[in-house]
Amino acid sequence: MTQSHSSPRDARDTILSRMDQAAKAAGRPAGDITLVAVSKKQPDARVEAVLATGQRVFGENRVQEAQARWAGRRADHDGLELRLIGPLQSNKAQDAVELFDVIETLDREKLAKALVKAMDATGRRPRLYVQVNTGEEEQKAGLAPAETANFVARMREAYGLEIEGLMCIPPVEEPASLHFALLAKLAAECGLAKLSMGMSADYETAIKLGATSVRVGSALFGPRPDPA
Ligand SMILES: *Cc1c(COP(=O)(O)O)cnc(C)c1O
Residue 59 C-alpha to ligand 1 middle, in angstroms? 9
* Mean pLDDT within 195-199: 98
Candidates 58, 65, 215, 218: which one to mutate for ligand 1, based on the most atoms within 8 Å of Cβ?
A: 215
Q: Which candidate, 80, 81, 138, 137, places its Cα nearest to that of 104?
A: 81
Cα 122 from Cα 101, distance rounded (Å): 13
* Mean pLDDT within 171-178: 96
> How confident is the model at residue 100, as a pLDDT?
98
Query: Which atom of ligand 1 lies closest to the CA of 85?
Result: 13
Residue 30 banded pLDDT, cuts 50, 70, 90: confident
Residue 28 C-alpha to ligand 1 middle, in angstroms? 24
3-state SS, residue 183: helix
> How confident is the model at residue 4, as a pLDDT?
47
For the domain bounded by 8-218, which CATH number is listed? 3.20.20.10
Contacts of 57 (CB under 8 A, 6+ apart): 34, 35, 36, 37, 81, 83, 213
What residue segments make up the domains of the chain, in order of their start?
Answer: 8-218
> How confident is the model at residue 50, as a pLDDT?
97
- Cβ pair 186, 149 in contact under 8 A: yes
* Mean pLDDT within 87-91: 97
> How confident is the model at residue 32, as a pLDDT?
86
Q: Which candidate, 77, 75, 86, 72, places its Cα nearest to that of 131?
A: 86
Candidates 4, 14, 38, 214: which one to mutate for ligand 1, based on the most atoms within 8 Å of Cβ?
A: 38
Which residues approach ligand 1 with their CB closer than 6 A? Answer: 38, 40, 61, 85-86, 169, 199-200, 215-219, 228
Cα 20 from Cα 221, distance rounded (Å): 20
Cα 36 from Cα 28, distance rounded (Å): 19
3-state SS, residue 126: coil
**Position 88, amino acid:** L
For residue 203, the 8-state DSSP code is: H
> How confident is the model at residue 113, as a pLDDT?
98
Residue 1 banded pLDDT, cuts 50, 70, 90: very low
Rounded to a whole number of angstroms, the distance between the first and last alpha carbons of the chain is 18
